[in-house]
């Protein structure tokens, strides 16, 4: 079942880490629900999404090294982050698909989500989960809001569609970062 650690390729190690990333969310959520109940666990997810979105926006700004000029610039470090955690395009190892209408308006398609991919089948059958709707969706809304963007999700893996799809428009007057 397992190979010697040195026998794994870099790509195999990356995929293993990405899969583990998604599974950790499910383990944390299941334990939280058992300890404090679903309602309280979801309230915690909302608070965590706010903190995570703030940290993500600050970190991306620091990595970029200067203020973002437009949405196209924001997509560049996002593609790197998405690749690291396995928010991917139509094939394993590809980045999500961006269709840019102009430098401040675009549409992103994520075909593989590590959290959804590790969702237990019996949970998937019930429809969208709190990890998708309460946590992940909230992070996207809050992160993009901090970056001066409006975001609308119109396609969901957790609703049986083939990708999560997001219409994103940057409006510089909405920027919440200094």
Per-residue model confidence as pLDDT tens digits over 105-121: 999 999 998 888 888 88
pTM for the model stands at 0.83
Instruction: Report the pLDDT value the prediction gives residue 95, as an integer from 0 to 100.
Output: 82
Say whether pLDDT at 26 is over 80: yes
Say whether pLDDT at 53 is over 50: yes
Residue 169 belongs to domain with CATH number? 3.30.1380
Element (H or E) spanning 109, and its range? strand 105-110
- Total domains present in the chain: 1
Mean pLDDT score of the chain: 88
Asked if 107 and 99 touch (Cβ cutoff 8 Å), the reply is yes
Domain that holds residue 142: 5-174
Name the residue with tokens 């991917």: 88
Q: List pLDDT tens digits, range 59-68.
A: 888 888 988 9
Contacts of 94 (CB under 8 A, 6+ apart): 88
Q: List pLDDT tens digits, range 123-138.
A: 888 877 888 888 888 8
């Amino acid at each position: 079942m397992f190979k010697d650690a040195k026998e794994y390729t870099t790509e195999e190690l990356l995929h293993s880490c990405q899969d583990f990333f998604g599974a950790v969310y499910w383990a944390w959520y299941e334990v939280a629900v058992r300890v404090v109940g679903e309602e309280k666990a979801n309230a915690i997810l909302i608070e965590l999404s706010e903190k995570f979105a703030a940290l993500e926006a600050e970190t991306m700004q620091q990595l970029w090294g200067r203020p973002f000029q437009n949405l196209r610039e924001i997509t560049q470090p996002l593609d790197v982050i998405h690749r690291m955690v396995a928010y991917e395009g139509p094939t394993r190892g590809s980045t999500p698909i961006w269709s840019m209408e102009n430098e401040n308006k675009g549409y992103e398609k994520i075909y593989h989500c590590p959290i959804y991919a590790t969702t237990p089948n019996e949970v998937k059958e019930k429809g969208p989960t709190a990890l998708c709707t309460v946590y992940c969706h909230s992070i996207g809304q809050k992160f993009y809001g901090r970056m001066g963007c409006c975001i609308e999700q119109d396609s969901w893996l957790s609703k049986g569609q083939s990708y999560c799809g997001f219409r994103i428009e940057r409006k510089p007057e909405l920027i919440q970062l200094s």
